[in-house]
Structure 1
Amino acid sequence: MIPYDTAKINQMINESQSSSTTYDNGRKFEDLACYLFETIPGITIAKRNAMNQYDTEEVDVSIWNDKHQDGLPFINNIFLVECKNWSSSVGSVDVNWFATKVEDRGLDFGVLLATNGITKETDEIKRAQSILSGYLRKHIRIIVIDKEEILSLVNTYDMINLIKNKICELVVNG
């Protein structure tokens, strides 16, 4: 278990919400995502802000996972992280767009890091859950982590357990 610098996390979140442009806010939120993941044993940031060969999809963060026993041995070697540092929650369209990016690359896991999580609007949350369930049937697991969950992290053990719990919740709830 490696401790996170919680003051640094708070500072990075504050900076990601107070830059002069939304572009800068997004990049700072991606910096936070990289910090949270690369602190986990066996995790390396492979690429950031990479466009596909057709210039139609950008991947915010791609991660290489060496499957270290104290890290994320239950997740395949490559996975994606999408960062949504919005003032509002993400909707089903955004969930579907990210899941499509994961699927298009032949991957089976992705993390949607969304400052305000998925919308709580009844119909829209049902749509988002339906999309996640549909991808689960294809053996693609997409989890969502919000700002409050990030702020609760004290060490890498917390992050690993959060990921495990999110995967279990996704599978059990369908």
Structure 2
Amino acid sequence: MTPEVAKGALADAADGEEAALLTQAVLSKLTITDIPEGGRYEIGTLDDGVVRLDWNGSFSVEDGKLFGEADHTWTRKYWYSPLGLEQYLDLVRRAVEVRQRVRGDVELVHHEDDGAYIQLRYRIAATNVKLDRAYAEIVRVDAEIVEAADQAADEVGARIAEVSARLSGWGTNSLDELIDAVDGAVSADEKGRALEELCARLFSSVAGFVVKQRIRTETEEIDISIVNGSSEPRLAREGAVILVECKNWTARCGKNEFVIFHEKMLNRSRRCSLGFLVSWNGFAGTVTKEMLRGSREELLVVPLTGAEIRAAVRQGDFTAALLSCWDKAVAL
């Protein structure tokens, strides 16, 4: 996107209700004076007719000052965190109110709970006039606001995981026995439980990785949230949070699942740059094409198959297998 195209989109947005869509790359070429008052813009890309936002919110200028309005709108139906949606957003709201009172650079705009959805919006004031620096400033402040709520969710998830592990006999089976259980399980539930334990224990074996959260959803998907404290050079440069999602399907994982997982990584307050998508029975060719399309992005999704996990367990070195998969994903 050129600065001229961006300015045209901003001018159109000033006369309508829809926000203009700008890319991060063009922000360094624009200043606050290029933003007409009365219009809004969002940061992201348009991919096959689908808007992919880099930050959940919009930006506008009022009285010569730039504001970013964070939009935390969630539905209980698709909220899978072990900390309830109401409790999570209540913590975020409290953080906004405290910061508004103490520092004055944020303002609560709207908070409503209709039983199905909870809407929470707040404005963040930028001090920079260059749009790229203002964008980075607003995103940083938003991450600071949700930090306590994210930490609380991790702590609740860890506690639930500990209790679940104790009740289900976690750790009584060897890794080889867990692999046999995944391959030979009759029901999806049995297979899911074996795969959940197998992946959590393997990722816990990587030096510096701390598995903080394990979530099983109604679709038999397994999410594992990892705090990244690795000193290994390739892993150390990645974000503080690493996400793992496991598919215990009999079919191969395809493009749609890859895209959905990519979106989940984006929804980690810009703390997640690396994710491992585990598909026990492999991946369709469409996944490789999707990886090639996103090869210039900062986010990296690393595919991991059941065959690669079985080989890693046999060789007794899951870290080496993980890094090998990382290398292949980067080399695409």
**Shared fold (TM-score greater than 0.5)?**
yes
| Kept in 2: contact 1:41–1:71 (CA 8 A) | no
The TM-score, its normalising length taken from structure 1, stands at 0.76
Distance 2:235 2:292 in 1: 22
Runs of 5+ consecutive residues of structure 2 not aligned to the other structure? 1-172
Highest RCO, 1 vs 2 (Cα 8 Å, sep ≥ 6): 1
Distance 1:163 1:76 in 2: 16
Give the number of the structure whose alpha-carbon radius of gyration is greater. 2
Specify the alignment match of 2:251 in structure 1: 88
Closer/same/farther in 2, CA of residues 34 and 128 from structure 1, 3 Å limit: same
| Kept in 1: contact 2:205–2:318 (CA 8 A) | no
Q: Which residue, out of 279, 283, 286, partners 1:118?
A: 283
Instruction: Give the superposition deviation at 1:45.
Output: 0.8
Residue-pair matches, total: 154
Q: Which residue, out of 225, 238, 252, partners 1:62?
A: 225
Runs of 5+ consecutive residues of structure 1 not aligned to the other structure? 1-6, 52-57, 120-124
Specify the alignment match of 1:76 in structure 2: 239
Specify the alignment match of 2:318 in structure 1: 159
The TM-score, its normalising length taken from structure 2, stands at 0.42
| Kept in 2: contact 1:61–1:82 (CA 8 A) | yes
Instruction: Give the superposition deviation at 1:74.
Output: 4.3
Distance 2:247 2:175 in 1: 16
Distance 1:41 1:172 in 2: 24
Specify the alignment match of 2:298 in structure 1: 139
Q: Does 110-119 or 20-29 show the bigger shift?
A: 20-29
Distance 1:171 1:43 in 2: 20
| Kept in 1: contact 2:209–2:228 (CA 8 A) | yes
Q: Does 1:39 align with 2:198?
A: no
Closer/same/farther in 2, CA of residues 69 and 138 from structure 1, 3 Å limit: closer
Describe the SS at the equivalent of 2:181: helix
Percent identity between the two aligned chains: 23
| Kept in 2: contact 1:46–1:62 (CA 8 A) | yes
Closer/same/farther in 2, CA of residues 114 and 46 from structure 1, 3 Å limit: same
